[in-house]
C-alpha cells in the first residue's frame, strides 16, 4: 500500500506552484508527504530542462529515484523527453513502475498513483489546456502565494526547448486569477504572479490585447495588506505597455522589482536568438523604470557563448552590464538543447564559454556589492517571509533580500510578521540587518 510520498522539485516559480498543487491534492486524498526519501513508498520528481546542466541533473536524479518501486516523472522533461526517461528507468537495476505526467495534467496526479498501485504504468502527455488555479494546494512558504497567470509564450527563441513542452500562450481567465489570489490571501501576505512571460498575458485572447495592466490593477485593488511580486517579462512584450506597468508599480503594494532578460548586448546575437527587440529597446525600458524608481531592484539574464558570439559581441554585452548595473544577473553558459535551431549552429568552444562566464561573475559581484553598500544604516518596515537555518529572510519594498540572524533577537516566531529593522552590513547578494532598537 502506498501511503508516504516524497516530492523533489526543480526550476521556476511556476514549477514550485505545480508542486504545491500536487502536494495539496495528494494530502487531500489522504497521502502523507515526507521530506526523507528513505521512508517513502513512492517518489515524484517535478522536472525542469531549461538548460543542459539542469537536464543532466534530472537524468541523475531519475536514475537515483528509480530505486523506488514506484516513480512519477512530472513536468517539462516528461513532455519532451518521455522516451529518454523510459530508457533511463529500464536501464536501472531496479524494477521500477514508472508514470509520466506532462505539465498540462498536474491535476490528474492522484489518478496516476492509483493506477501505479494496481501495477499499471501510464503516460499523460498532451498539449491540452489546463487551468492551474483555485486548486487545493500546500504552500512551501506559508507567507507566499504563487499564482500562475498563463501557460506557454508567444516567443520563438532559437535556443529554447521549454516552449516545446509549454506550447503556445494560454492566458488564464482573470476572474479565476483574482479568485486564486484571494484564496491565497486567507493565509499569505505576499503574492507572486508568474508565467513564462507575464507581459504577453492576454495576447492570445479574441481581442489580442495586452491585459497585464488591467489584471494588475484588479489584484492591487483587493482590500488587504499584502505585497505583489511580478515575475519575468520579455522586453518585446513589455515595450508596448511599459507606461501602464510603471503606473501599476507606483502602488504601495508592488515590490519595486523588475525581471527583464536581455540575453545579449549585441543586436546581431539577438537576431540569431530570434529575440524580437533591440538592445536599445531594453535600455529604454530600464531607464523608464529607474526614472520613477531609482532604487528599483533589477534582475536580468544573459547567455554567454551563444553560437556566432564573437569577442566583439561579448564585449558589447559586458559593456551593457557595466552600464545598467543590475542587482541580479543570471548568467548561463550556452548549452545546445536537442531539437532547437541553435543546437545546429556552429558552437562556441566550451573553454571560451567558461572564460566569458567567469569574467561576468567577477564583474557582477563587484557591481552588486557596490549597490548594496548604499543601503547600510537604512531602516525598513519589512515582512518576514521565510526562515532558513539560523536566519529569518525578508525583503524591503524593492525586493532586496534582507537577513536577520535569529541569534540576534529574542526566541520568537517572526514568520509572517511585520517588524522594523536596520541594515548593518552589505554582501553582494543580500543585506544583513538587526532589529531597529529605536522602535
DSSP 135-181: -----SSTTEEEEE-EESBS---TT-SHHHHH-B-EEPPHHHHHHHH
Q: Is the pLDDT confidence value at 142 over 90?
A: no
Which residues lie across from 99 on neighbouring strands? 72, 122
Domain C-terminal end among 192, 223, 253? 253
293 in a domain, yes or no? yes
Longest dimension (CA), the chain: 64
**pLDDT for the residue numbered 284:** 98
Q: Is the pLDDT confidence value at 21 over 70?
A: yes
The confidence band for 410, taking pLDDT boundaries of 50, 70 and 90, is confident
Within this chain, do residues 262 and 237 fall inside the same structural domain, yes or no? Answer: no
Q: Can you tell me the distance from the alpha carbon of 338 to that of 79, in angstroms, rounded to the nearest whole number?
A: 14
167 or 356, greater pLDDT: 356
Q: How many CB atoms lie within 10 A of CB 121?
A: 16
Burial zone of 8 (CB within 10 Å; 0-12 exposed, 13-18 middle, 19+ buried): middle
15 in a domain, yes or no? yes
Domain C-terminal end among 329, 358, 373? 373
Distances (CA, A) of 23 to 11, 16, 145, 189, 237: 17, 11, 14, 21, 33
Q: Return the percentage of the chain with pLDDT > 70, whole number.
A: 99
CATH of residue 272's domain is 3.30.750.200
Domain C-terminal end among 195, 219, 253? 253
Domain span at residue 214? 141-253
Q: How many domains does the chain have?
A: 4
Sign of CA dihedral 85, 86, 87, 91: positive
Within this chain, do residues 271 and 293 fall inside the same structural domain, yes or no? Answer: yes
pLDDT digits (tens, 9 = 90+) for 308-339: 999 999 999 999 999 999 999 999 999 999 88
Within this chain, do residues 193 and 294 fall inside the same structural domain, yes or no? Answer: no
pLDDT digits (tens, 9 = 90+) for 339-357: 899 999 999 999 999 999 9
pTM: 0.92
**pLDDT for the residue numbered 50:** 86
Q: Look over the chain and give the mean of its residue pLDDT values, rounded to a whole number.
A: 92
Within this chain, do residues 322 and 391 fall inside the same structural domain, yes or no? Answer: no
119 in a domain, yes or no? yes
Question: Which of the residue ranges 28-42, 107-121, 290-304 has the most confident prediction, judged by mean pLDDT?
Answer: 290-304
389 contact partners, CB below 8 Å, separation of at least 6: none
Distances (CA, A) of 339 to 63, 94, 160, 342: 23, 30, 9, 9
282 or 134, greater pLDDT: 282
CATH of residue 79's domain is 3.40.50.12160
pLDDT digits (tens, 9 = 90+) for 233-265: 999 999 999 999 999 999 999 999 999 999 999
Q: Can you tell me the distance from the alpha carbon of 246 to that of 293, in angstroms, rounded to the nearest whole number?
A: 9
User: Could you give the 3-state DSSP secondary structure of residue 74?
Assistant: strand
CATH of residue 248's domain is 3.30.750.210
Within this chain, do residues 331 and 427 fall inside the same structural domain, yes or no? Answer: no
Q: How many CB atoms lie within 10 A of CB 169?
A: 22
Amino acid at each position: 500500500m502506498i501511503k508516504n510520498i516524497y516530492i523533489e522539485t526543480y526550476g521556476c516559480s511556476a514549477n514550485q506552484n505545480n508542486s504545491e498543487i500536487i502536494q495539496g491534492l495528494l494530502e487531500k486524498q489522504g497521502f502523507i508527504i515526507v521530506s526523507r526519501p528513505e521512508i517513502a513508498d513512492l517518489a515524484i520528481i517535478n522536472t525542469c530542462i531549461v538548460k543542459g546542466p539542469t537536464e543532466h541533473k534530472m537524468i541523475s536524479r531519475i536514475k537515483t529515484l528509480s530505486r523506488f518501486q514506484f516513480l512519477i516523472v512530472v513536468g517539462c522533461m516528461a513532455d519532451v523527453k518521455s522516451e529518454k526517461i523510459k530508457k533511463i528507468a529500464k536501464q536501472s537495476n531496479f524494477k521500477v513502475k514508472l508514470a509520466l505526467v506532462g505539465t498540462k495534467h498536474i491535476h490528474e496526479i492522484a489518478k496516476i498513483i492509483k493506477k501505479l498501485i494496481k501495477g499499471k504504468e501510464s503516460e499523460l502527455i498532451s498539449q491540452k489546456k489546463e487551468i492551474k488555479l483555485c486548486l487545493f494546494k500546500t504552500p512551501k512558504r506559508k507567507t507566499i502565494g504563487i499564482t500562475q497567470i498563463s501557460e506557454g509564450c508567444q516567443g520563438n527563441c532559437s535556443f529554447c526547448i521549454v516552449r516545446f513542452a509549454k506550447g503556445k500562450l494560454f492566458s488564464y481567465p482573470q476572474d479565476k486569477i483574482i479568485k486564486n489570489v484571494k484564496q491565497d490571501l486567507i493565509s499569505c501576505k505576499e503574492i507572486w504572479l508568474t508565467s513564462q512571460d507575464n507581459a504577453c498575458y492576454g495576447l492570445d485572447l479574441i481581442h489580442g490585447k495586452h491585459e497585464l495592466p488591467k489584471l494588475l490593477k484588479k489584484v492591487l485593488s483587493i482590500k488587504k495588506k499584502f505585497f505583489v511580486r511580478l515575475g519575468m517579462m520579455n522586453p518585446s512584450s513589455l515595450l508596448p505597455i511599459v507606461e501602464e506597468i510603471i503606473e501599476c508599480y507606483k502602488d504601495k503594494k508592488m515590490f519595486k522589482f523588475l525581471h527583464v532578460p536581455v540575453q545579449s548586448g549585441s543586436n546581431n546575437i539577438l537576431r540569431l536568438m530570434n529575440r524580437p527587440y533591440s538592445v536599445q529597446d531594453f535600455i529604454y525600458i530600464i531607464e523608464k523604470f529607474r526614472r520613477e524608481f531609482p532604487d528599483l531592484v533589477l534582475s536580468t539574464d544573459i547567455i554567454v557563448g551563444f553560437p556566432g558570439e564573437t569577442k566583439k559581441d561579448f564585449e558589447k554585452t559586458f559593456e551593457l552590464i557595466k552600464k545598467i548595473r543590475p542587482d541580479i544577473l543570471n548568467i548561463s553558459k550556452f548549452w545546445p538543447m536537442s531539437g532547437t535551431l541553435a543546437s545546429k549552429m556552429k558552437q562556441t568552444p566550451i573553454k571560451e564559454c567558461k572564460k566569458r562566464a567567469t569574467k561576468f561573475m567577477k564583474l557582477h559581484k563587484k557591481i552588486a556589492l557596490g549597490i548594496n553598500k548604499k543601503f547600510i544604516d537604512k531602516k525598513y518596515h519589512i515582512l518576514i517571509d521565510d526562515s532558513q537555518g539560523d536566519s529569518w529572510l525578508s525583503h524591503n519594498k524593492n525586493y532586496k533580500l534582507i537577513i536577520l540572524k535569529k541569534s540576534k533577537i529574542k526566541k520568537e516566531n517572526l514568520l509572517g510578521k511585520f517588524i522594523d529593522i536596520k541594515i548593518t552590513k552589505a554582501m553582494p547578494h543580500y543585506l544583513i540587518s538587526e532589529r531597529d532598537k529605536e522602535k
